[in-house]
Amino acid sequence: RYLKHAKVPLNEYNFSNNKIANVQSQLEKLIMKNFYLFKSAKEAYRGYIQAYASHSLKNVFVVDQLDLTLVAKSFGFQVAPAVNLTVNSSKRSNKSNSKRRQIQTK
């Protein structure tokens, strides 16, 4: 809806389900087997959530409404990994004036 409001032209495509390969389970197995892939995926997951939570457009990127299980699946996890995040809730980067909020994912 934000793109339509900004009058950005959009093209939508429909694909039949039988033409789309289901690789999710294979991706999850691969990440669980390979330590380095798991570590990289976990760092990417943490970075994504941290970027989402610290974005300046808080009315668009509402971290409390984010489905962490679905986000974790997009990074190849069966369940969301536990990560600690510290997010500045103030627009200033000055550490003395900024409020910090801990987000614990399970």
Tell me the per-residue pLDDT of 23-40, one tens digit each, with 9 for 90 and over: 888 999 999 999 999 999
What's the pLDDT score for residue 38? Answer: 95
**Contact (Cβ atoms closer than 8 angstroms) between residue 80 and residue 28:** no
Residue-wise pLDDT tens digits, 52-61: 888 777 766 7
Which has more confidence, 93 or 18? 18
**Contact (Cβ atoms closer than 8 angstroms) between residue 97 and residue 49:** no
Closest CA to 60 of 12, 1, 100, 15: 1
* DSSP bridge partners of 101: 87
Residue 103: pLDDT above 60?
Answer: no
What's the pLDDT score for residue 16? Answer: 84
Sign of CA dihedral 39, 30, 82, 69: positive
DSSP-derived 3-state class of residue 86? strand
What's the pLDDT score for residue 93? Answer: 45
What's the pLDDT score for residue 60? Answer: 67
Residue-wise pLDDT tens digits, 79-95: 888 887 665 544 444 44
Separation of alpha carbons 51 and 55, rounded Å: 6
